[in-house]
């Protein structure tokens, strides 16, 4: 099987970001992004998606967390896209329901090369420390676009905003893991009638 890893750095006037990931990892992570809640959510993607992830982010936090979160999504999405490559043999489409106490989230993924996000969840700022709730949606939307996968997120229940956000990230992790698993019955073909997922 082809090595599905990527290393990517991006420096702008607002942020400096480095990412190393391995799609076929064990869920090990080393995160330094400056925001505890954001790190906690990224850790869910790694641990439950079995994606080894090293990520270091610095930037202009004096303007808030928008640039850090948005640019992290851009770099992480591009690294994921690079690691998956032409998508040879991937399962491609998958979904996962994940509960966390009273919260229940569904994520559906199609790693089709067509970046798109539909986000049906209401999350407010409480219980997220200093991470603005609207950045949960913005991160997922930006990452899906840059990685080239179609993502539908639905929050089916929940009252605690921490639980809601964490359940969403865990369900995305599980859906990504399943969608990127190699299907041995078609390990030498690209899962598209077009013959390409780019």
Give the pLDDT score at 90: 94
Average of per-residue pLDDT across 21-50: 97
Q: Is the pLDDT of residue 96 over 70?
A: yes
Average of per-residue pLDDT across 74-95: 96
Q: How far apart are CA 108 and CA 92, in angstroms?
A: 11
Q: How far apart are CA 14 and CA 11, in angstroms?
A: 8
198 is a domain residue: no
24 is a domain residue: yes
Q: How far apart are CA 152 and CA 95, in angstroms?
A: 9
Q: Is the pLDDT of residue 1 over 70?
A: no
pLDDT digits (tens, 9 = 90+) for 106-135: 999 999 999 999 999 999 999 999 999 999
191 is a domain residue: no
Dihedral angle sign, alpha carbons of residues 95, 173, 152, 195: negative
Q: How far apart are CA 108 and CA 86, in angstroms?
A: 20
Edge to edge, what strands does the sheet with 116-120 contain? 93-100, 103-110, 150-157, 116-120
124 is a domain residue: yes
148 is a domain residue: yes
CB contact set of 118 (below 8 Å; sequence gap of 6+): 151, 152, 153
11 is a domain residue: yes
- What's 47's domain CATH number? 3.30.230.40
Q: How far apart are CA 115 and CA 77, in angstroms?
A: 10
Give the pLDDT score at 69: 97
Q: How far apart are CA 77 and CA 98, in angstroms?
A: 22
pLDDT digits (tens, 9 = 90+) for 168-193: 999 999 999 999 999 988 878 888 87
Phi and psi at residue 135, in whole multiples of 5°? -75, -20
Note down the domain range covering 127. 5-186
194 is a domain residue: no
Q: Is the pLDDT of residue 98 over 80?
A: yes
pLDDT digits (tens, 9 = 90+) for 127-174: 999 999 999 999 999 999 999 999 999 999 999 999 999 999 999 999
196 is a domain residue: no
CB contact set of 27 (below 8 Å; sequence gap of 6+): 46, 47, 48, 49, 50, 51, 52
Comparing 111 with 1, the larger pLDDT belongs to 111
Number of compact structural domains in the chain: 1
3-state secondary structure of 177: helix
The closest of 49, 41, 44, 47 to 23, measured between CA atoms, is 49
| pTM beyond 0.85 | yes
């Amino acid at each position: 099987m082809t090595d599905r890893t990527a290393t990517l750095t991006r420096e702008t006037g607002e942020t400096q970001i480095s990412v190393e990931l391995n799609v076929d990892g064990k869920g090990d992570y080393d995160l330094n992004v400056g925001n505890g809640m954001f790190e906690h959510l990224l850790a869910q993607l790694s641990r439950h998606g079995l994606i080894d992830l090293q990520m270091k982010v610095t930037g202009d936090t004096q303007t808030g967390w928008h640039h850090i979160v948005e640019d992290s999504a851009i770099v992480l999405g591009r690294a994921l896209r690079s690691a998956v490559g032409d998508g040879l043999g991937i399962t491609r489409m998958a979904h996962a329901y994940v509960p966390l106490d009273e919260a229940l989230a569904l994520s559906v993924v199609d790693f089709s090369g067509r970046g798109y996000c539909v986000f049906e969840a209401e999350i407010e700022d409480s219980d997220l420390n200093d991470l603005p709730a609207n950045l949960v949606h913005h991160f997922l939307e930006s990452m899906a676009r840059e990685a080239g996968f179609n993502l539908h997120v639905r929050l089916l229940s929940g009252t605690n905003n921490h639980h809601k956000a964490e359940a969403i990230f865990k369900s995305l992790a599980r859906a990504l893991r399943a969608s990127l698993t190699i299907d041995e019955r078609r390990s030498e073909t690209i899962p598209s009638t077009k013959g390409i997922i780019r």
